[in-house]
A and B are shown apart, each in its own frame.
Chain A
Amino acid sequence: MSDVEKLRAELKALNSEYAKIKTLPPEERGEFGRTMNQKKQKLLAAIEQAEAEAENSTVEALDISAPTAPNQPIPTVKRGTKHPLMTELDRVIQVYSAMGFDVMESRQLDDEFHMFDSLNFPIGHPARDGYDTFRTAEGFIPPAHTSTMQHRALKKYKSKLEHGGQIAVVIPGRVFRNEDVDTTHEHTFYQCEGVFVSKDATMGQMFGVLKHFFEAYYGQKLKIKTQPGYFPFTEPSAELLIEKPASLGGKGGDWLEMLGCGMIHPNVLKIAGIDPETYHGFAWGGGIDRLAMLKYGLNDVRYFESGKLDFLEEF
């Protein structure tokens, strides 16, 4: 006889005892009823528990380490994948946008004027060679930097200045350099440009904005430092370095070159119809590929454009 059956038999016996109540004097009946009910409740609870235990003991245990039960197909979870470069690009846009920057998109086919002339590169200046630009037979340029959009950004938002406001815009985009591809060089990559113009913009504000961006992006306090740079479209020019964040395994003392920056050259403002006597600005541009490589610890930039699902499914 199982536990449950024994308990049921007890319950049956108990129920039959209820008949005794009629034989008792009326003043004892109340006490008798309460005692009987207590006993009954106790038995019912015990039965319920015993039944649950009995049921549990019949459940078959799984091999939780197995991908499936014997004779069953192995379930697959189909995943979609977002390209890691685009994930970083979206994150960069998100941070700048939250800081109050408008967002424009860069062009992938442009001309000499936007790529060089509007950026104060003298015609035929050797500095133009430093960009290893592709050229098309039709005389156009797949741009080598997102700075190719600076002139358009200045013109587009100029009216904000005229209404007492500021220009604050970032411009992500795909850019191209005519060079051999290896583990650290790609001819096709992504950059994000930033442009800020106001009546009282300073270099100190530029470093403040960029430090804040990297702190928001990496979610931690960071140290920054600079080294001089040369870009015809900024004066003064600098390169910004950040101390390798702890979240990327930095132990202090390692510096990462993140971007080029500087105060917008008065000629660049002038060409866009902004009076450099009244307004100052700063601009910067940095690579997205580098952010993604650092974040994911990648050592070969060629994966990004490889189209290999084996790579993409890692993200």
Chain B
Amino acid sequence: MRISLNAIKSYVRVPESISDQELINLIGSRLVEVEEVIDLAPRYRGCYVAKVVNCEPIPDTHLHLCQIDAGVHNEDFNQLENGLVQVVCGAPNVHAGMLAVWITPGSIVPETYGNENFKLSVRKLRGYESNGMLAGADELGFDTEHKAIAEIDPKTAQPGDALADVFALNDLILDVENKSLTHRPDCFGLIGFAREVAGILGIKFEEPEVFRELSAKTLPNSAKLTVEIADSELCPRYSCAVFDLPGHEPSKYLTSTAVFLAKAGMRSIDPMVDLTNVLMLETGQPLHAFDYDKLVQVGGSETPKIVVRAAEDGETLQLLDGKTIACTPDDILITSNNVPVALAGAMGGKNTEIDASTTRVVLESATFSLYRLRKTQMAHGIFSEAITRFTKGQPAAITLPVLEEALHRLGISPESVIDEYPSKIPETVVKITTEQVNNLLGTAYDTDTIIKTLENVGFNVEGAATASSERIRSYDEEERRDPATAVVANAPRGGSCGSTTMLKVTSPAWRTDIHIAEDVIEEVGRLLGYDNIPLSLPTKPFLEPEVDAMVKLKQELREILSGRLRMNELLTYSFVHRDLIAKVGQDPEDCYQIVNSISPDLQCFRSEIAPSLLDKVRENLKAGHKDFTLYEMNQISRKSYGLTDEGTPVTKTHLGIVATSDFYTLKAQILAMFAELNIPVEYAVLSSETAGHHPYLEPKRSAELFLDGQNIGAFGEVKASVLRQFKLDPVISAAEINLDKIAIAPRELQAQVQLSKFPSVERDLTLKVAGDAPFGRIDTVLHDSLSQQNLYFDITPVSIYQPTDSATKNLSFHLKFSSPSQTLSAAEISAIMDKIAKDVSAVGATVI
């Protein structure tokens, strides 16, 4: 939303001691984020009112050769002998005697300012020297269409006047963020915005006439129209007036209204529409005008009646922009005897459009359910200034006062004013105490400060005020302190003056956001400035904070995997394309399906991490990386996991790993990871069930992992057929491990350090076994054999050697052992080695 600072200043007398920048900073810190400040002054710097003294057509062209008088500014530019300046102009409406807007050579055309910055010069057109240009309203940034050059009303200006002075263009436009005002419909009007500015400055806001008296007046009603609201939930209040359209011709001059609208980003259309838009910008209340006679005709009844009701599904209406919409039951329709004439809050119907033939109008000022209009906005894609305001929930209290203001400005006494307000919304009264305010904010404001702050913005406060006669300081008297006040451990708590004073706060009728004490406390804290709240710290008992087991595990794993095991941590999207799931042979139907993504790639909530990593291998290989291990830890889910007790999907945290290496390398990394964690795991050949869960793993070259006898994942080489889908060559390995059980698994806290004080013995051992004998079986026997002999030992596999075509293979180990109680003698060592030879022979191994 764009807010003119000049407009704000027209409602609030800002003390001269406060600079514009200071005011903007205050608005930013106490009302709404100011996203951009646009300074209009420089863009109109070269624009002057000039009189066209002579104007002659240039033969065989549409151009005119003009001599203009720009007052004293003539002297600065190429004057003719008669002291005037020559400009060539192509506009059809240029004529001698008119006042036009002259943009001087060397100046930038305002419309292009900040974009292409089109700079005018002295140049020849058809052989005639032309100095600068006579500008159209579009070139000045007040219109979108190029119709003619702007003409200035001689009653308002004379040659030589700066355009900026005539139209108050030495102005700063604040572009503010709407989102943080979602709950403040009153601030979507300049008056409401200005009221807040007054409150921030500690000044009592002088309500303009329109909001001074909100209670209903006795209304003239000559039965030109009746209004029926089918459901007051849809439309709490509907006010309208019927009157003869005053014969206002559109002005031929550039009007201050057009400039006012342009500052808010709107355009002048015709006097009636302009009036409704100006009032909307000032008060926040949108208005809509219907052609009364068309309305009566459409309704087909002698007794015209507006009925406000919910639309029926599929009911159609042609809107003002020519589009015909099919309504949903969420839409609200304005109807004439049940025939739709407008989509409430959004756009009028073509069938009751004001046009040149219109003589009588119905002017509507109403408020509708913001929830319904939000759906209308989404369903029909209408994002007008009006619906933006309606979806904030315009207060019912102001419909009639704004309508009356419109009639007043039109200078007419209507025949008929109807105000349908079925259930009057009661005023909100909230009780607060000074103590409550200070306890929530951590401040020590006194009762008078609180009362004054609220009263400044229209709250009515009653209570046993301490009636201190001391005047409340306004902002410009405040001590300017550094917001970074040092943290104090015990900030003042509870106001010392009247800390238990009970205040009865009645919110002004235009405030729809005040319901509870906290809403009022926010107003006090905000208007007086959150930055003035003294900082403090809570006291906390000395207790070890409880860190979620999964958070801790992930931190630990990052150190192990990225540090000691030198893997690369990735983050990839939680939402994946169905194709990715299908490529790895899993069922996309078991995934939660994203239904409203604006990107076609985000379809399924993923059920595993490894496929996402697999998808990243090729581009990293292409980027020249050769040997890497990618990993990611994140949440996954499957529909088949079911729901939690609270009814949300069961999610699990998985570790996915993908490596450009074979099974054995990945296995070594995974076992090292568990060894670092001090968590004992076991692994075995993939069961068919586990293979089914990880269909991309080659079951003959994969294993599954067990913790405490329960499956916690699988790892192995990826099937060649799957790799082809990712345009990858073998060998790539992958792992998918559920971290949930690991996070809570008991750790071996006692270190198993076995160091004998007696010398250890080292021996190499080579065993000849059958070619298909599992390594693990021999390894286990070796371990058992040394354990049984009560020794401290290390067994390191050295090699597995199997010549081609051989039916046997040689397994070589390096053994290191010692006795916990003595130095081993040669005889004892021989006995140990003999025992090993005997034990391994039982599983078909021969010592060689």
Contact = CB atoms under 8 A, between A and B. Distances in A.
Nearest to B543: A100
Given A83-B571, A223-B483, A237 B537 contact: no
B563 A205 contact: no
Given A103-B548, A228-B526, A304-B571, A165 B592 contact: no
Interface in A193-250: 196, 198, 200-205, 207-209, 211-212, 222-230, 232, 235-239, 243
A285 interface: no
A208 B534 CA distance: 8
B273 interface: no
Contacts of A227: 28-30, 32-33, 180
Interface string B585-617: 000000011111111001001000000110110
Contact of A109 (B439, B592, B627): B592
Contact of A142 (B183, B525, B605): B605
A236 B525 contact: yes
Interface in A74-120: 78-83, 85-86, 90, 93, 97, 100-105, 107-111, 114
A205 B374 contact: no
A142 B574 CA distance: 9
Given A176-B574, A228-B32, A100 B540 contact: yes
Contact of B648 (A80, A101, A109): A109
B33 A239 contact: yes
B651 A308 contact: no
A134 B522 contact: no
Contacts of A102: 545-547
Given A135-B595, A196-B538, A230-B179, A104 B29 contact: no
A140 B29 contact: no
A307 interface: yes
Contact of A140 (B525, B575, B625, B649): B649
A150 to B, nearest CB: 14
Contacts of A310: 623, 625
Given A130-B179, A308-B619, A308-B620, A207 B572 contact: no
Interface stretch (A50-58, A64-72, A178-186): A178-186
B572 A307 contact: yes
Residue from B487, B534, B550 having most chain A Cβ neighbours under 10 A: B487
A103 B551 contact: yes
Interface stretch (A15-23, A40-48, A166-174): A166-174
A236 B605 contact: no
Contact of B545 (A101, A181, A305, A308): A101
Given A136-B593, A205-B537, A235 B569 contact: no
B648 A111 contact: yes
Interface stretch (B334-342, B630-638, B684-692): B630-638
B647 to A, nearest CB: 7
A309 B625 contact: yes
B18 interface: no
A62 interface: no
B144 to A, nearest CB: 27
Interface stretch (A6-14, A27-35, A121-129): A121-129
Contacts of A228: 29-32, 180, 526, 530
A283 interface: no
A83 B613 CA distance: 14
Nearest to B530: A226
A265 interface: yes
Contacts of B392: 126
Contacts of A176: 574-575
Interface in B807-840: none
Contacts of B526: 228, 236
Contacts, number: 278
Contact of A172 (B551, B595, B605, B634): B551
Interface in A124-177: 124-127, 129-130, 134-138, 140, 142, 165-166, 168, 172, 174, 176
Contacts of A108: 574, 605, 634-635, 637, 651
Interface in B508-562: 516, 518-519, 521-522, 525-526, 530-531, 533-538, 540-541, 543, 545-548, 550-551, 554-555, 558, 561-562
Contacts of A308: 616, 619-620, 623
Interface stretch (B133-141, B440-448, B767-775): B440-448
A312 interface: yes
Contacts of B550: 105
A175 B594 CA distance: 14
Nearest to A155: B646
Contact of B484 (A187, A223, A229, A263): A223
A280 interface: yes
Contacts of B574: 108, 142, 174, 176, 188
B599 A187 contact: yes
Contact of B637 (A85, A97, A109): A109
B374 A136 contact: no
A263 B526 CA distance: 13
Contacts of A225: 29, 483, 531
Nearest to A225: B483
Contacts of B563: 80, 82
B179 A86 contact: no
Given A126-B374, A135-B596, A93 B534 contact: no
A123 to B, nearest CB: 8
B592 A200 contact: no
A235 B545 contact: no
Contacts of A235: 516, 518-519, 521-522
Given A82-B562, A103-B548, A140-B649, A187 B571 contact: no
Contacts of A205: 442, 491, 535-538
Given A135-B596, A188-B573, A203-B441, 17 more contacts: A80-B561, A103-B551, A107-B651, A109-B651, A134-B597, A135-B595, A142-B594, A165-B541, A168-B540, A181-B599, A201-B538, A208-B537, A223-B483, A230-B183, A236-B518, A263-B518, A307-B613
Interface of B: 28-33, 179-184, 370-371, 374-375, 378, 391-392, 439-443, 482-484, 487, 491, 493, 516, 518-519, 521-522, 525-526, 530-531, 533-538, 540-541, 543, 545-548, 550-551, 554-555, 558, 561-575, 592-599, 602, 605, 612-613, 615-616, 619-620, 623, 625, 627-628, 630, 634-635, 637, 639, 647-649, 651
24 contacts: A80-B562, A80-B566, A103-B551, A105-B550, A126-B374, A129-B378, A136-B593, A174-B634, A176-B574, A178-B597, A181-B599, A200-B439, A201-B538, A203-B442, A204-B491, A208-B536, A209-B538, A227-B32, A236-B521, A265-B518, A305-B572, A308-B619, A309-B623, A309-B625
A-B pairs with lowest CB-CB distance, top 5: A204-B442, A202-B442, A236-B522, A307-B616, A80-B566
